[in-house]
Chain A
């Protein structure tokens, strides 16, 4: 059986199409010339940890990185190297003591890779429970992303945290300008964010226990306090054994699984089935006994779900209530059962289940409702018996969010500068211009490598920055551009 429309085959057809495109290089068929005057070779030396030795010039230096110009085939390039990658810097005579002046105009965003002195272990009496309090805010997949969470978890484990408390409030807004932002409606749903959620679930659900085991400790308890967990963020509390709600807390926004895919019924059913059971699988980690009913009710509008009570314990089941002691959670959303605009406006619809503090407690999913952090800590008995060892973890998340804001501005600036470069004038001017183009692209690559997962592709794509299938900047295409600029230079005649 040959599946010719596979992604990989799509790649080949793209390649073959590319082969038909006329060569867009300089017309002059001249021999390649190595530019002896391409760059003035500096006298600084960088020895990288991987063993590479570079000779060139330190352009600038911050606390976390060194911007270094060297050359390749006579073409200068400038790259920013994180100091963690650098073994030693040997400064030449030309460089001022202490290196070049730190760059002021466009400071590099704080690097997550930079090793700074570790916080000393927080000392606490042995009878105190060590906990890390970590706030997850911002847009899901941007401010809330796997790399900073992974770092926060590592730091929590290094502080031997026994409990990790996540306060979760993701931004759930319409896309648009800053003046038009408003909260999304309940009928708008983003089950498609599940794929991204899995990358973060892996960190909390799989990597964290492994980190703890490697450190010789029991995996920490994970607690979620939900203010808002909508869209992809809804899957976090679903996998947690301990969930508390804020009085206005909501978990949902994933109710479009049955409707988001179009195609042949059998293939669509396959897609629904695998997504549903992957989500159910993560929900099983919570130990909640009705994980499948819960996930079905939250993700598919046709699923009728009610709750009954056996020996005082809530039991979810498929179907309508059969006596006054049972309560309908979701109806079939058909005809007269479809949520009305009144219900949508007041968050009282029941086509799909959106958990709030009342129904979450009713079905035994929520451990309780608390309005403030101190109430939460009291509920967890951490107010007196606990000590917060998560200062560093919390800072990891803050650094990421503030870094992202600065990074987007820097990307726009670099991209504009790249676009403004004109390759014209005499040979030397053209060489300099191409060199500048490469420098800008290399700088963008360095940023994308570090921050790409959190940058909004909907902001990047309109600029013309290539986006890969995973929603992050496609570095291979940028590499291709750089290579072509180098070739243009080699073909250029004086």
Chain B
């Protein structure tokens, strides 16, 4: 029932948006807070507790939340009869951001698109923050948001300085086998270094930002004096040859990013680009002898590795060949594209991983400390300490549940993590028994 009401409200708001230049939440089907100073706020009352009321309004299409003291500020408070009263203080307040957004049916010829961020400036390590499973997870959401008729556009905005090579194949498979089959899927590169560039190399369409960069894919084991060599290096080169063919790129390009392969190119009059495995045969020096290749937008444009450079969604829309794309999602101040539900999941995932990563050391130490205290206690007094130890163990479990890549990165694999977990639970159970 509530879902239907929300759908009606969304529809009413959409209609109002068409007819009004300066849109505020329409008075029909809305809550209203009238202040003693005469101001009136219309929208949805989302919370009411401690003598305060929070109302979500929309000003010029931008949602904002206002809060007032009922005693001090509010003259009257009118609820839309269809709107249930907000939950009491003890109940979990409804998060308006979680409200189901109902999209209107597609109009003929309408193209819908979303921007999914793979990494952001602060949290971007491949295999930790940029993982295949959270991309795969949002496919059903995307099917709802931009449809299943193959007209949808998915832009993957990549901002990552690299990470675990182990994740490359998984991300590449997810993009190539799942996304590209359903939607026009393109990469929009701000920073794609190392494993991030390798993950992006299966996109046929790569666009850059003006400050974008892409490459530097040399593998190494954490320390600068430990490159990937021998059989592992050959396997990595072979893997990237296969991935290069997915994106339609000459294998020399990725090779120059991995192993100091000199590279030059000539753009033929036909528009085709001919690549040379040295720095002299082609008219354009792409990678000097001895260097590792990283593209900037100028070089990537010159040798047609990039399809174009865009800094705004409008510029990207034009480069994609459309006059208009309905970019699905909510406009949020400070973000250059609307946040779809699929994108919100990417953002929430990274936020959770960041929190987990920050706290992991602490949780592990406190788990060990509480377990140690319990071991030193007489059996009858261990309960509270074991309870605390278990709570920290649960946090570690939840962390792995949110991001299974942690199990691989920290324990060597899910199986190894499960074994470790089983052993810890056995220790706790033993201590609880005695």
Contact = CB atoms under 8 A, between A and B. Distances in A.
Interface in A448-490: 476-477, 479-480, 483-484, 487
Nearest to A284: B210
Interface string B113-140: 0000000010001001000000000000
A278 B409 CA distance: 27
B221 A281 contact: no
A210 B368 contact: no
Contacts of B376: 23, 29
A32 B220 contact: no
Nearest to A286: B210
A323 to B, nearest CB: 23
Contact of B220 (A270, A278, A476): A270
A484 B218 CA distance: 43
Contacts of A269: 218, 260, 290-292
A334 interface: no
A10 interface: yes
Contacts of B381: 29-32
A176 interface: no
Interface centre among A51, A281, A487 (most CB of B within 10 A): A281
Given A4-B222, A18-B364, A484 B369 contact: yes
B334 A211 contact: yes
Contact of A3 (B50, B218, B221, B378): B221
Given A476-B361, A476-B362, A5 B223 contact: yes
A264 interface: yes
A218 interface: no
Given A14-B361, A32-B384, A276-B294, A285 B215 contact: no
A274 B213 contact: yes
A78 B410 CA distance: 36
A10 B361 CA distance: 11
B366 A214 contact: no
A281 B227 contact: no
Nearest to B333: A214
A479 B216 contact: no
A9 B410 contact: yes
Interface stretch (B28-36, B103-111, B160-168, B322-330): B160-168
Contacts of A291: 298
Given A6-B164, A88-B50, A270 B298 contact: no
Main secondary structure of the interface of B (DSSP, over half): mixed
Contact of A87 (B52, B296, B298): B52
Interface centre among A49, A280, A285, A484 (most CB of B within 10 A): A280
Contacts of A202: 121
B222 A29 contact: no
A262 B215 CA distance: 20
A4 B228 CA distance: 12
B412 to A, nearest CB: 8
A104 interface: no
B362 A487 contact: no
Contacts of A277: 213, 215-216, 294-296
Interface in A202-258: 202, 205, 207, 210-211, 213-214, 216, 239
A263 B334 contact: no
A8 B409 contact: yes
A284 B220 CA distance: 29
Nearest to A214: B333
B369 A23 contact: yes
A271 interface: yes
Nearest to B297: A284
Contacts of B410: 8-9, 11-12
Contact of B224 (A268, A276, A285, A483): A268
A454 to B, nearest CB: 18
Nearest to B211: A281
A9 B409 contact: yes
A177 interface: no
Contacts of B339: none
A158 to B, nearest CB: 13
Contacts of A210: 333-336
Given A32-B384, A270-B194, A264 B219 contact: no
B221 A25 contact: no
B315 interface: no
Nearest to B197: A274
Contacts of A268: 224
A7 to B, nearest CB: 7
A365 B262 CA distance: 31
Given A53-B50, A281-B297, A292-B298, A2 B225 contact: no
Contacts of B60: 216
For chain A, give the interface size range.
35 or more
A2 B166 contact: yes
A241 B224 CA distance: 36
B212 interface: yes
Interface residues of B, number: 81
B58 interface: no
A205 B292 CA distance: 27
A13 to B, nearest CB: 10
A484 B368 CA distance: 12
A14 B213 CA distance: 33
Contacts of B336: 210, 213
A476 B359 contact: yes
A239 to B, nearest CB: 8
B166 A1 contact: yes
Contacts of B62: 214
A264 B69 CA distance: 64
Interface centre among B164, B211, B359, B361 (most CB of A within 10 A): B211
B218 A270 contact: yes
B225 A280 contact: no
Contacts of A14: 361
B251 interface: no
Contacts of B93: 51
Interface in B60-113: 60, 62, 67, 69, 89, 93
A19 interface: yes
B272 interface: no
A32 B376 CA distance: 12
Contact of B378 (A4, A29, A282, A487): A29
Interface centre among B221, B232, B412 (most CB of A within 10 A): B221
A144 B27 CA distance: 48
Contacts of B191: 278, 281
Given A1-B232, A11-B361, A269-B290, 8 more contacts: A3-B220, A11-B410, A31-B381, A276-B294, A285-B211, A477-B361, A480-B362, A483-B366
20 contacts: A1-B232, A9-B410, A19-B368, A23-B372, A23-B376, A88-B52, A207-B334, A262-B224, A266-B227, A266-B292, A271-B216, A272-B291, A272-B292, A273-B292, A274-B194, A278-B211, A284-B297, A477-B361, A479-B362, A487-B370
Interface of B: 49-52, 60, 62, 67, 69, 89, 93, 121, 125, 128, 161, 164-166, 191, 193-194, 210-213, 215-228, 232, 235-236, 259-260, 290-298, 333-336, 357-362, 364-366, 368-370, 372-373, 376-378, 381, 384-385, 406, 409-412
Interface of A: 1-12, 14-15, 18-19, 23, 25, 29-32, 47, 49, 51, 53, 87-88, 198-199, 202, 205, 207, 210-211, 213-214, 216, 239, 261-274, 276-278, 280-282, 284-285, 291-292, 476-477, 479-480, 483-484, 487, 491
Task: Please provide the 3 A-B residue pairs with the shortest distance between their CB atoms, ordered closest to farther.
Answer: A263-B224, A5-B222, A281-B211
